[in-house]
Each structure stands twice: as C-alpha cells, then as structure tokens.
Amino acid sequence: MNRVRLLIFNAALGPLDYRVPDGMQVVPGSVVSAPLGPRQIIGIVWEAERLPGEAVPDAKLRPILDVLPVPPLRGELRRLIEWTADYYCAPIAHVARMVLASGGALKGPATMTEYRLSGGLPERMTPKRELAMAALEGEQATIRELAETAGVSDAVLRGLVNQGVLEPVEVDCDRPYPQARADHDEPVLEESQVEAAGTFVEAVTARQFAPFLLDGVTGSGKTEVYFEAVAEALRLGRQVLVLLPEIALTENFLRRFEERFGAPPVTWHSSLKSTERRRAWRAIATGHAQVVVGARSALFLPYANLGLVVVDEAHEVSFKQDDGVRYNARDVAVMRARFEKIPVILASATPALESLQMAESGIYTRVELASRYGGATLPDISLVDLTEEKPERGRWLAPRLAKEMEARLERGEQSLLFLNRRGYAPLTLCRNCGFRFQCSNCSAWLVEHRFTQKLACHHCGHEEAPPATCPDCGEPDCMVACGPGVERIADEVAEILPEARVAVVTSDTLNSPERAAQFVAQAEGGAIDVIVGTQLVTKGFHFPELTLVGVVDADLGLEGGDLRAAERTYQQVAQVAGRAGRGSKPGEVLIQTRHPDAPVIAALANGDRDAFYEAETEARRDAGAPPFGRWAAIIVSSEDEAEARDAARAIGGTRPDLADIAVLGPAPAPMALLRGRYRYRLLLNARRSAELQDVIRKWLGALDFPRGVRVHVDVDPYSF
C-alpha cells in the first residue's frame, strides 16, 4: 500500500500518515488536502524518515482527498523549514504554516470576488450602513476585509450586497505582473562601486552559496550597487528576494526600483489584501514573480528559482520576530541562501557585531564602500553636553541646537530631530496625588498622544480617552506630562520657530504606504522645514536639503542595562546622522548627551567606528555574549501569576547540570505583565560549542504544564 506522512499545521497533533489513492500522484513537497475527523485539512507530503511521528496501522489509514494545484515545495525549502524549527526550538508545524501563508486560499480557484460601492443607495439607511458606506469610499476588497476596514460585521455588508449597494468584481489572481528589465536605466557607477558590483554579479552568475557583508557608509550607494546583482539575476531569469526592515521604507525603495528596472517589484507584507497575497504567492511559486521585496515573512515563500537574497539595513532590530516562531530573518536569510546554493548580501552602514565577526573570520566576504557617492562628505558631528549647555526650563533643545535650526530655516534648508519616543510624553502623572497612568494589561506606562487625544499602551495597543478627573483622587484636569516624546518636541519647535513647517514622523503618523509616499514627496518638495521623528526616520530616506540632524537624547537607549544597548545607540545615532548632508551641501550633527565620555558617545563624536566596535567586542567577550557565547531565553506565561511562577520554578527545578551552559533564574521577565499574561523567564548562557537546542528540547520535553501555561523558547534573543 502507498502511504505518506503529512506535515500538518496543528502542532498538538504532530505529523499524520495517510493513504495515497490509486492513480493519485504525490511526491515529497506536494500540498494536499486530507480528512481529519469531520474536517478537511491541508498538509505537506514529507519524507517519513525526516519527520518522526506515530505510525498508524495500514487498516486505519484514511485516503488523501486531493493534490492542490500548486507546485510541490522544493527540497531546499523543506530543509529550511526543518532547520528553522530545529534551531529556534519551534514546532515544525508552525514554521510550515508560515510557508503556506495563504493557507486555505491555496485551494481556491485563480479568481476571487471583491466588492466595491456601486454608487447606489440602500432602500433603508441605518446608522451602521451609513458608517460602512462612508468608510468604504474608494475601497475594493473581500467582504471580510471590507468589514474590518469599516468596523462593522460581515452581515451588515452582506445586506448591502443584497441591495446592490456593494457590487462584486471578479479579480484574476493569476494576472501577470509587469516585467522588470535589467537594462531599463543603468547608472554609471563610480570606481569603488564598479568593483563591489562586479563581485556580486560574479557570485550571482556562479550560483553557489556565497554570503557577503556589504559594509558601506551611509550614502555610498549600497542600493545602487546591489541593484547590479539584481540586474544580473534578471538577465539569467532567476528570482530575487530583497528584505527590508519596515514597510515605511518600501515606498522609497519601490520608486527607485521602478526607475532602475522600469517596473515595480512584487511586494509581500502582512497588510496585503487577500487577492494580492494569493496573486503574489502563486506568482512566486510558479516563478513568474521576478523580484520580491518584503518583510521578513517573505523568506519562507516557495520561490521556484531563487538566485539572490538581499537583506537591506541588515542590522535592524525589526528582522527579529518576537512572537510565533521567534526567528531572526537576517540569519534565516543566510540559511536560505545556503540551502538554495546562492549568494546573499547583508547590507548595512552599521553592521551588527555578529556580522562583522563573521566577515573577520572569513565566513562572510566583506565588500566595502568607504566614501559617499558623488563626492558628498560625511557630516560633521559634535556633542552638546547638556550638563553645561542647559535647555531653558521646560524645554529639551539646547540653545545651540535651536540656533542652528533657525539658521537652516533662514537658508531654506531642512533640520531633523531624532527622539525614539512616540507620543507626547513617556509618562503621565496626576498633578495632585502623583497617580501614574498605567496599562491594565501590561507592566507599562500609558503614553499620552495629544494629536489623537488618547492614552495608549505601546505594548498591547490598548487605548483609552484621557479621563476628565484623576481615577485615584478625583482631581479635575489632573494630567501632567513627564519627559519628552516627539509630539512634545514638535510643540517646542513651534514655539522656537513659529513659521517653520513641522512634520512628526512615527509609526503613528506614517502608518500606510500612501502616507509614507506623501511624506517623502513633501520632504523632497521642500514643504517641510523640520522633521521630528522616531527610529523610523533614521534610515533609508535621502533628502538633499537636509543639512542638520539633532539627536535630542543620545543617552536614552543606554538606560536599562540591556546587553545590546551600546550597539543599538551607536547604530541609531550613526544612521540618523547619515541623513545629513547627502546632497551637495555639507551636513552637521549635534548630539545632546549628559554622558559625553561614555565610550559609545565619544566614538560617535570622533567618527571612530573601529574604536566603538573594539570596545564593544571586549565587553561582549567578558559577558560571554554573542558572537563569543550564545544566549537563549525560556519564557513562561499564564493569566494566573501563581501558575506562571510555579511552572517557571518547575522548569528551574529540573535544570540540567552542564559545564558549558549556565542557567539563570527563573525571575520575573522584563515585561512581567504583557497583554494580560504574567511572565517569568530563565536565561541560558552557553559556550558556542554547546548543544544548546538539544538540551532545551530534552529538558522541556520531559515536563508537563497546566493548560493555561505557555512556554516558549527564544534562541538568540535580541534584547534582555
């Protein structure tokens, strides 16, 4: 009898065996539907010897129902799925689920039905219908998505469909994408760029595993250079994946890409409509999608013929996924390239120490771009010692910074102020009793957002209207802001420079591709004098008139004792400084600090990158931190605090006694309450050679936990 093992997406059930009916053709990687109890599920045919499971006796096997009309997942991708599950101690079912990101959508036909307003009116208008119709102006999507947009139930919209107010539109999910052309608009490269590009082009042609660190100062033309590798892949008819850290940066990238190649790339991110998602998935699997630019999840798509992977701004924190399968997309990108036997380019002006170390030890090839394109100079950096040059009472900008901004305004140039804090103030108190506004679901303060008049939790998304009176003592109009957020800085700019046009740029204001495009157009068109922004403005943007960057509080990221605090501060400040003077006018950077002697601040001021990395290397070596040692976290959570604590203690009580792995804790996790769950943590510090994952799997595998307890492992956690 012909039996196969299926990887299914339910981690609790594990892999299951099925019978292949006579005449049905399946191979490893085939995506099939099969019965499970009364339901139908989707599964991937897997090599049984690579996927341990309970062998069902022949007589009990149920037949596979159908092979879905998508190409079988290639062996290279199946090995990546196995590796990811193994390395990150995650259920393989959950990794596989990311690959079939459109899940059930696979089963459907190539067309889907979307709806849009027809222009007609309902027989009877209700408040809900009116609300929905206003919200859906100009929208076209599936009923489910429209309901989400409009904030009403599906039933309300079905009613509108029945009355002809919403009309159906058939969308062909197999309609082709416009084709990019390698020679559409080729740039003339500078000498150092030619050399770098040549190295990449050669590697693409050779089609072997080859990891590169493209280490180039801000404005050196890293994008321009890796575009040459993209062009080569296009010529050879191979697919390219470019990973970007933020959707907000994508707009800029899309435009440059289209200018260079004559057509936009295929985009992949979490807010794609389901029709676009299905269209992209199918085109990627069949090989029609040439270049895919996406968020980290694009790594797990079933490329038919991948020839190159690029990770731009490879040092970025947002490549680390922090829920579900906790993986680092930068590292998985290298593994994907290894399984596919293709080159991978990690591009950054401020590489992570881990990446630099890989380059130094010869595992990655380092390709350097040492100077800015077109003779643009790197900006002048100086420190503003806030203990000496004090801002006026109730202000945050030192007089020197204010004066420089004024000079820019007079010359018609732009300034950028960087502060990595959304909202008006990080903490809000009652003026009368000192009550602190705190999230009820998380151990975090609520942050006042004045523009939207809300108190918001930045961890769980909880929002509430600011209360009229103090919840504790009843004092009316009691809220006092403590410390600055970007909105407060924008207010201060308006006071100092009343005629300046100020834009606040955060994930709150730049929350869609349209708004990102609008911002870029305004900033480039000279309609903005001062940009006040969070880390969102530190990278990617290229505004020629921007000649002054002010770092409002360089010490901010250094607080909290995080092991990566210094590196992150270095990266953020160096990146934001890199926005200044990218055109023909020289740039200047003022860094406000209370610790001008701290090694990272001094290194920034002296433009001495090597000094910073050397100091950081020593600190990491002493701490047994990456790249010299490895860390992993075991996080235990429950809605019941005692249950979480007991489970964490049970894990701690069975800790293995090993020479090469130290176990710390359990202790309350840094966010001890998150989204209504209490969290405890054990930290593991291992020598590089230790079999860390094996130890964790055996250790946790031997324990049972109450239903309400969740245990997850974070291998190579980003911050702790």
The binding site for ligand ADP (CB under 6 A) comprises 187-190, 193, 216, 218-224, 373, 542
Can you say whether the dihedral through the CA atoms of 508, 512, 515, 520 is positive or negative? positive
In the sheet that 661-674 helps form, which strands lie side by side, from edge to edge? 661-674, 677-687, 629-638, 710-715
**Among 7, 96, 417, 442, contact with Zn ion (rule: CB under 5 A):** 442
Q: How far is the CB of 215 from ligand ADP (least distance, A)?
A: 10
What does R_g of the chain's alpha carbons equal in angstroms? 27
Whole-number Å distance between alpha carbons of 279 and 173:
4
Nearer to ligand ADP by C-beta: 426 or 533?
Answer: 533
Please report the DSSP string for 492-559 in residue order. Answer: HHHHH-TT--EEEESTTTS-SHHHHHHHHHHHHTT--SEEEESGGGSSS---TTEEEEEES-TTGGGT
Binding partner of residue 462 among Zn ion, ligand ADP, none, CB cut-off 5 to 8 Å per kind: Zn ion
Q: How far is the CB of 675 from Zn ion (least distance, A)?
A: 7
Binding partner of residue 85 among ligand ADP, Zn ion, none, CB cut-off 5 to 8 Å per kind: none
Whole-number Å distance between alpha carbons of 577 and 604:
10
Nearer to ligand ADP by C-beta: 38 or 375?
Answer: 375
Which uninterrupted H or E stretch holds 160? helix 154-162
Nearer to Zn ion by C-beta: 443 or 522?
Answer: 443
Nearer to Zn ion by C-beta: 161 or 460?
Answer: 460
Residue at 35: amino acid letter: P
Nearer to ligand ADP by C-beta: 167 or 368?
Answer: 368
Nearer to ligand ADP by C-beta: 227 or 631?
Answer: 227
Q: How far is the CB of 220 from ligand ADP (least distance, A)?
A: 4
Binding partner of residue 448 among Zn ion, ligand ADP, none, CB cut-off 5 to 8 Å per kind: none
**Among 459, 585, 645, 712, contact with Zn ion (rule: CB under 5 A):** 459
Q: At what angle do helices 609-623 and 565-577 cross, to 10 degrees?
A: 160
Nearer to Zn ion by C-beta: 311 or 457?
Answer: 457
Phi-psi region of 49 (alpha: psi -120 to 50; beta: other; left: phi over 0): alpha
Binding partner of residue 459 among ligand ADP, Zn ion, none, CB cut-off 5 to 8 Å per kind: Zn ion
Binding partner of residue 371 among Zn ion, ligand ADP, none, CB cut-off 5 to 8 Å per kind: none
Whole-number Å distance between alpha carbons of 104 and 39:
13
Q: How far is the CB of 217 from ligand ADP (least distance, A)?
A: 7
Q: Are 592 and 400 in contact (CB under 8 A)?
A: no
Binding partner of residue 457 among Zn ion, ligand ADP, none, CB cut-off 5 to 8 Å per kind: Zn ion
Nearer to ligand ADP by C-beta: 189 or 684?
Answer: 189
Q: How far is the CB of 419 from Zn ion (least distance, A)?
A: 22
> What tokens appear for 422 in the block?
């959304």
Nearer to ligand ADP by C-beta: 480 or 521?
Answer: 521
* Percent helix, percent strand, percent coil in the chain, to nearest 5: 35, 25, 40
Q: Are 390 and 398 in contact (CB under 8 A)?
A: yes
Whole-number Å distance between alpha carbons of 93 and 82:
10
- Residue 457 within binding range of Zn ion, rule CB under 5 A: yes
Binding partner of residue 460 among Zn ion, ligand ADP, none, CB cut-off 5 to 8 Å per kind: Zn ion
Binding partner of residue 219 among Zn ion, ligand ADP, none, CB cut-off 5 to 8 Å per kind: ligand ADP
Nearer to Zn ion by C-beta: 656 or 676?
Answer: 676
> What tokens appear for 519 in the block?
């911002």
Strand pairing category for 502-505 and 530-533: parallel
Q: How far is the CB of 221 from ligand ADP (least distance, A)?
A: 3
Spacing of C-alpha 537 from chain mean position: 15
The three-state secondary structure class of 235 is helix
Q: How far is the CB of 442 from Zn ion (least distance, A)?
A: 3
Whole-number Å distance between alpha carbons of 720 and 643:
23
Beta bridge partners of 504: 532
Q: How far is the CB of 459 from Zn ion (least distance, A)?
A: 5
Q: How far is the CB of 303 from ligand ADP (least distance, A)?
A: 24
Binding partner of residue 677 among ligand ADP, Zn ion, none, CB cut-off 5 to 8 Å per kind: none
Nearer to ligand ADP by C-beta: 211 or 219?
Answer: 219
Whole-number Å distance between alpha carbons of 578 and 580:
5
Q: Which stretch binds Zn ion (CB under 5 A): 374-382, 435-443, 526-534, 706-714?
A: 435-443
Q: How far is the CB of 171 from ligand ADP (least distance, A)?
A: 35
Q: Cis before residue 211, ω within 30 degrees of 0? A: no
The three-state secondary structure class of 499 is coil
Q: Which stretch binds Zn ion (CB under 5 A): 61-69, 108-116, 244-252, 433-441?
A: 433-441
Q: How far is the CB of 222 from ligand ADP (least distance, A)?
A: 3
- Residue 542 within binding range of Zn ion, rule CB under 5 A: no
Binding partner of residue 439 among ligand ADP, Zn ion, none, CB cut-off 5 to 8 Å per kind: Zn ion
Q: Cis before residue 666, ω within 30 degrees of 0? A: yes
Q: Where are the beta strands (DSSP E) in 571-660?
A: 588-593, 629-638
Q: Which stretch binds Zn ion (CB under 5 A): 168-176, 194-202, 420-428, 462-470?
A: 462-470
Question: For the CA atoms of 67, 71, 72, 74, what is the dihedral angle to 10 degrees?
Answer: 180
**Among 286, 441, 443, 693, contact with Zn ion (rule: CB under 5 A):** 441
Q: Which stretch binds Zn ion (CB under 5 A): 135-143, 271-279, 451-459, 628-636?
A: 451-459
Binding partner of residue 587 among Zn ion, ligand ADP, none, CB cut-off 5 to 8 Å per kind: none
Whole-number Å distance between alpha carbons of 701 and 709:
14
Q: Are 592 and 553 in contact (CB under 8 A)?
A: yes
Q: How far is the CB of 685 from Zn ion (least distance, A)?
A: 30
- Residue 439 within binding range of Zn ion, rule CB under 5 A: yes
- Phi/psi of residue 700, nearest 5 degrees: -75, -30
Nearer to Zn ion by C-beta: 131 or 460?
Answer: 460
Length of the chain: 720
- Residue 462 within binding range of Zn ion, rule CB under 5 A: yes
Give the interface size with Zn ion as a residue count (CB under 5 A): 7
Q: How far is CA 119 from CA 161, 164, 315, 590, in A?
A: 12, 9, 49, 55
Nearer to ligand ADP by C-beta: 82 or 313?
Answer: 313
Whole-number Å distance between alpha carbons of 18 and 65:
10
Q: How far is the CB of 525 from ligand ADP (least distance, A)?
A: 16
Whole-number Å distance between alpha carbons of 398 and 410:
19
Binding partner of residue 442 among ligand ADP, Zn ion, none, CB cut-off 5 to 8 Å per kind: Zn ion
Best CA proximity match to 255, nearest among 517, 454, 534: 517
* Residues that bind Zn ion in the complex, under the rule CB under 5 A: 439, 441-442, 457, 459-460, 462
